[in-house]
Chains A and B, each alone.
Chain A
Amino acid sequence: MRNAMLIAGKDLRRRLRDRSAYIVGIIAPLGLAAIFSFVFNPISNSSYSGTFGVVNDDGGQIAAMFVDQVLGGLADSQTGVTIVSVDSEADARNRVEAAGDPSLNATNGLSAAFVIPPGFSNAVQAGQRTTLEVIGSPVNSTSAAIATAVAEGFADEVSAVNLEVRTYVVSGGVVDPSTVSDAVAYPSPITVGDLPAETRRLDDTTTMTVGMAIMFLFFVAQEGVIGLLEERRDGTLARLLVAPISKASILGGKAIASYVLGIASMAVLVVASTLLLHAHWGNPVGVAILVLAAVFAAVGIMAVVSGFARTDEQANTYTAIVAIALAIFGGSFFPISLGGGVVQFLSKFTPHAWFIQGLGDLASGKIAAVVPSALVLVAIGVASSALAVVVVRKVVDQ
């Protein structure tokens, strides 16, 4: 054991002195997470605001109801929504188009506009067909969709009241002055409410930090076997083997060095990203469990991969390929849940996906939520480490 610790200590000192451990383990993942969140955050954080124009060419009772109650209600209930009156359809069209071209820097642009045609109120009251026009632009597609949804909602409401009155009359009811207002006041039987759900997702900055951390962990975790291959190239492995040290101590020392480097770099990353990038990793105990399990899995996988290499350079090549491929399919760069089907299925074979899912589950607040993901990571670690012992022994024996 003492020999193993000595070997691990020497390897660790060497990695720290040539500075590559800092760059690969800490600076690169932290720097990339910072840049990614800088790039992606302004977009995901932008809150909605929209100015809707309304052209009232009708001026009747129903048109007033739409403008005052429906649009007025929208402006009151949604922050960021403003309703302005516009004189003509042509003017509305120009202003929506101007807002859709950022190079014009239009000050009176409209996100979308409603046009109420002449005769609208009369047509609705007579139960005749009529139209409500929405002008939108592809750039402000969200606003166009909101405007369409509002107009459709109003159309639905008018149809519903019409059907109420018709059904009442066909069933033999007699229309008196209060019938229509009663019909308007009668509530809709189906309403859509909230279904409570916990958040099992990380915020954007944390997602990127976690993705980069787990990707670079694999580069750090390869140190052990690559160190062994370096010793063989430099001829120091032969000297170790003739010294009174067991093979188990040599392999153990290399493994300890990998675990320590992996855990240390992850620990620094968790703390540094929390302080510098305001990432939210979640409950420290849960994070610790997942980090330990992930390091175990990463060291095992990287040992197997580099164990197949004949030289340290070849090992660097193999491990880089495996680390990048796993990171892509495991969701380090983009959320796997978007891919569906095949991509989601493939991701289940990567430790990255389980690590990210575990942290997502931890965001629900319960430490126990990490257990399934942690168990899968440990299982990957056990299987790959067992295989690694067989493969890496050959490296020592050759």
Chain B
Amino acid sequence: MKALAIAGANIRRMVRDRSSFFFVFVLPLLLVLVLGAVYGGLSRPRLGIVAGDGPLAQSLVSGLESDGSIEVTPYADVDKMVLAVERGELEGGLDLPEDFDEQVQQHVEIGFTARDLQEQFELRTVIDRVVAQQNAVLRAAGFASTQGVASYSDAVATAQAEQANVERIDVETQSVGQPYSFTQGGRFDLGAQSQLVLFIFLTSLTGSAALIQSRTYGVSRRMLATPTRMGTILVGEALGRFGVAMVQGLFIIAGTWILFRVDWGDPLATGLLLVVFCLVGAGAAMVTGSLFRNVAQASGIGVLLGLGLAALGGCMVPLQVFEIFAPTMYHVAHITPHAWALEAFSKIVQLHDGVWSIVPDLAVLMGYAIVLLGAATWLLRRSLTRV
């Protein structure tokens, strides 16, 4: 009963503090929103294009514009376009010479630049496709006129008319195998799961400052002076940390579900996972709270560990990407509790598995919680009586 009172006081302190309000409630949703905007909507590469107003140049431009897989922005000035590519405001740029229509009767080179290999490849595929169509007509016209059977302009008209009669090799693409889980799901889903795991742990670590405040304000000493056993105080503090983590976790789940329609899967499985992960967070908070002497130190290290472990654990780069590109990193990631929680979430949400499928992950997380809470009990017993 006394333990619950101590926990309650801790949670009230958090809810009333304006900074906690921002970090616990506002920031996670803000990040889910920004990440969704930055990464979720990323699909079509942006191509800048400088072209004269000749009909052939313009037909190349409209060919690119009508291709649905890229976004074309016209530029008047090559230098401005190149600067935009250099700064990453465009994925690539295409420069057609002013006298494209005249040069094309012989040979014309158009300039292309892109930011990196991946984008270069994506844009180049589209450009090659559109250029190939125009090339086919102009090449046929050039060939016929150099063979002396027609004038260039007549040959262009003939080639354009004949283009529809040429049978093409159809390229059929077949896909085999399962898409990876991170390619499925809603725009905000993956962001929301990673944020949930990241923030519960981060807030727990930075929130450990509350334990230090309890010591420096003398709350701990006064509690010890009352007829309350040390064990009760420790359970109360742990419950407080756990409660703070739960409040934030439930808020993120509810908030993202209502605002962004994020799918959280089976409520029982998600609920169990949340409870166990919050226990891990509470344990980590108690350990940091007892190891550091002042608030500035604890929050500095808290941010470092909170973001660092999250990055290692797959909150910033999906674990499946590690698995494909860097298998060692994939194993390293599983040192962190984050990776186990994210694996469990991908089973619940992406694969729609029930609570039984995540039992191994829950067991590992429970192990973390027991070790951390055990260590914290021993450390805090010493530090609470220290000033």
Report A's interface with B, CB cutoff 8 A: 18-20, 23-24, 27-28, 31-32, 35-36, 38-40, 42-43, 46, 48, 93, 96-97, 100-102, 124, 127-139, 142, 144-146, 148-149, 151-156, 158-160, 162-164, 166-168, 170-173, 182-183, 186-201, 219, 314, 316-318, 320-321, 324-325, 328-329, 334-340, 342-344, 357, 360-361, 364
Contact = CB atoms under 8 A, between A and B. Distances in A.
Contacts, number: 322
Nearest to B85: A197
A166 B113 contact: no
Contacts of B136: 156, 159-160, 163
B158 interface: yes
Contacts of A134: 171-174
A124 B169 contact: yes
A339 B178 contact: no
Interface stretch (B231-239, B273-281, B293-301): B293-301
B382 interface: no
A145 B121 contact: yes
A46 B326 contact: yes
Nearest to B165: A166
Which 8 A-B pairs give the minimum distances between C-beta atoms?
A: A195-B111, A337-B88, A317-B19, A20-B296, A42-B326, A200-B86, A23-B300, A156-B132
A20 B292 CA distance: 11
A338 B116 CA distance: 13
A168 B37 CA distance: 53
A189 B96 CA distance: 13
B202 to A, nearest CB: 11
A160 B131 CA distance: 12
B24 to A, nearest CB: 12
Nearest to B300: A23
Interface in B48-84: 60, 78, 82-83
Nearest to A117: B172
Interface of B is mostly: helix
Interface stretch (B243-251, B317-325, B346-354): B317-325
A202 to B, nearest CB: 11
B108 A189 contact: yes
A32 B34 contact: no
B49 to A, nearest CB: 11
A167 B155 contact: yes
A343 B109 CA distance: 36
A159 B175 contact: no
A289 to B, nearest CB: 19
A86 to B, nearest CB: 14
Contacts of A186: 139, 142-143, 146
B162 A167 contact: yes
B166 interface: yes
Contact of A193 (B111, B144, B170): B111
A317 B89 contact: no
Nearest to A360: B87
B169 A155 contact: yes
Contacts of B325: 42-43, 46
A93 B175 CA distance: 9
11 contacts: A28-B304, A35-B311, A39-B316, A93-B176, A135-B176, A137-B175, A138-B183, A164-B139, A164-B140, A171-B154, A190-B104
Given A132-B172, A186-B142, A320 B304 contact: no
Contacts of B78: 195
Contact of A154 (B155, B169, B183): B169
B297 A167 contact: no
A186 B329 CA distance: 51
B132 A153 contact: yes
B171 A163 contact: no
Contacts of A28: 300-301, 303-304
B356 interface: no
A167 B129 CA distance: 21
Contacts of B104: 189-190
Q: Name the residue in A127, A144, A167 with the highest tally of chain B Cβ atoms < 10 Å from its Cβ.
A: A167
Contacts of A154: 169
Contacts of B162: 163, 166-167, 170
Given A36-B316, A173-B144, 18 more contacts: A43-B326, A46-B325, A93-B174, A130-B170, A138-B179, A139-B179, A142-B121, A152-B171, A168-B143, A170-B158, A171-B155, A172-B150, A189-B105, A189-B139, A190-B109, A191-B107, A316-B19, A324-B27
A120 B341 CA distance: 52
A339 to B, nearest CB: 4
Contact of B88 (A23, A131, A144, A335): A335
A92 to B, nearest CB: 9
A164 B128 CA distance: 19
A255 B124 CA distance: 53
Given A167-B144, A188-B139, A338-B38, A139 B166 contact: no
B180 A139 contact: yes
Contacts of A166: 140, 162, 165-166
